[in-house]
Amino acid sequence: MYEALYRKYRPRTFDDVVGQEAVTETLKNQVRAGRLSHAYLFIGTRGTGKTTCARILAKAVNCEHPVDGNPCNTCASCRGIEDGSVLDVVELDAASNNGVEDVRLLRDEAIFSPTKVKKRVYIIDEVHMLSKPAFNALLKILEEPPEHLMFILATTELNKVLPTILSRCQRHSFRRLDADTISKRLSYVAQREGIPLEKGAADLLGRLADGGMRDGLSLLDQCSGREKVDEKAVLDAMGLAGTLRTRELAEDLLRRDHLSALERYNSLWRDGKDPSGLLGELGGFFRDALLFRLAPGGGKDLLSGAYGEDALRSVTGSDARLLHILNTLQRHRGAMFSAADPKLQGELCLLEICGFADGGGAEGAPVRSFAAKPGGEERRPLPPKETARAENLARDGRAVPSAAREPDAPVPEKEREKEAAAESAKADLPADRGEGQLWQDILRVIRSSVGIGEYIILCDPEKVSGEYADGELVLYVQPGFETGMVTRNDMLQKIRECAAGLAGKPVAVRTAEKKNSAAGLNEDKLRALEKFGNVTFR
């Protein structure tokens, strides 16, 4: 029966474990000196050797003839632990045995002395999956275990382990393996198995393993059926695009050439490339390009190594644009897991990067506003002046008003409602209003373009009041939460536009701290009551 490579080549001694020398040397020294702890906690990402080292430690503490801290793997104890015939070494999966009753059963069995070996060892994998009552049931025996008992806990999520458990264990952190270490191990395994693995393919598998040796061996197993395992064979087996085609697609996106980008994306999809994996490769390329630009000297260790310096140096665009592309790729890749059509999600992502989006893309990216002519005529862009205005509005995350749209372009229904409400509010304003009434007029008009909570705060004279004189509107704002709401760029821009429309000329808007004196508050309240005609002041 065929045995998977990651099982066949699982290390049997501490010396066989690669990339975790800090942990294995410590454990070897403890076994050699007989200074063993009663409880260990192994922390690290998947495939880094936690469970493997736990099994080796269980053999080492029970080995009849240890060799320099390593188990001999030839005595009866070592052989029995390996084949599972020694029942005093128990391996539990906390993901499926996470209840308090499971831990109570374990605790009742643990008090009995071992029958065939020196120590009874419990290896609890994914210990963070235990429920809180189960953790509490484990506390007492973990703190004061019998002489013959040892616990080895393993977890990938340290933050979910209770502090009371952490304080009772000796912790060892397993680092993520680098691509070079994984590549060398894969080459060694391929040579032993007679797999024609080329060095470039081994390096690529090392990067794809993402720091986990088990993942690397599983990927090698997946590619082992081919006559020659080169980079192309690995990319085809994984459904990936490869560095060259990824770079070509990235260049299309940087040029905002949406037609070429969509055609290249469709070609990759027809070749069997996974949309999520493709966005991940694009993210890796733009990440390397951004890090190479921000830290050209000391940041080389941060790069994935998949792309050469010439390719990264040739990337154009501002830092803000690269950051926007990365954020867009991450957002759409996350949405792809729940999307009904992953291919369509990828196409939307590419179009958004090219500038076809409500937000207009990154800073400096053009807003693609087109008006379709009846009869299928070619669409034409907005005039340069209107396009510039639309870009500024879209950059602030606001809708483009009808004045900045092409006359033939359809107006969204929500925008029509807002514009109608604003026009209606303007029509209700008194014709003989003075400069002192500008803030009250703004409150009537702005109601349709702000949230109800924001509007309530703006209308409260104890929190916000406005004074207009000589082309400048001063907003006096109560210190606290209201300051952050009113001084937001988008809110000030809305007030500025509304004031300019009412005054018929540009209006400067600034904010100042509102005085909390009783006289000031009373004056604001009286001013607020002036809008009611049936109120008389004496």
| Separation CA 338–CA 58 (nearest Å) | 43
Residue 241, pLDDT score: 64
Q: Where are the beta strands (DSSP E) in 222-376?
A: 370-373
pLDDT in tens, 402-438: 444 444 444 455 555 555 554 554 444 444 444 457 8
CATH of 5-174, one of 3.30.540.10, 3.40.50.300, 3.30.70.1290, 3.30.470.160: 3.40.50.300
Fold of 243-354: Zinc Finger, Delta Prime; domain 3 (1.20.272)
| Separation CA 300–CA 425 (nearest Å) | 59
pLDDT tier, 447 (very low <50, low <70, confident <90, very high otherwise):
confident
What's 179-238's CATH class? mainly alpha
For the chain, percent of residues with pLDDT exceeding 90: 19
Beta-bridge mates of residue 171 = 41
Tokens at residue 433, please? 């209003």
Domain boundaries, the chain: 5-174, 179-238, 243-354, 425-529
303-334 exposure pattern, b = at least 16 Cβ within 10 A, e = fewer = beebbeeebbeebebeeebbebbbebbeebbe
Q: Tell me the residue type at 194.
A: G
In angstroms, how far is CA 326 from the centroid of its own chain?
A: 11
| Separation CA 128–CA 103 (nearest Å) | 13
Q: Give Cβ neighbours of residue 136 (< 8 Å, ≥ 6 apart).
A: 100
| Separation CA 396–CA 529 (nearest Å) | 35
pLDDT in tens, 148-187: 899 999 999 988 888 889 988 999 999 988 888 999 999 9
* 205 exposure class (CB count in 10 Å sphere: 0-12, 13-18, 19+): buried
What's 425-529's CATH class? alpha beta
Provide the 3-class DSSP secondary structure of residue 317: coil
pTM of the predicted model over 0.95: no
Higher pLDDT, residue 436 or 69: 69
Residue 531, pLDDT score: 60
pLDDT in tens, 484-500: 778 888 888 888 888 88
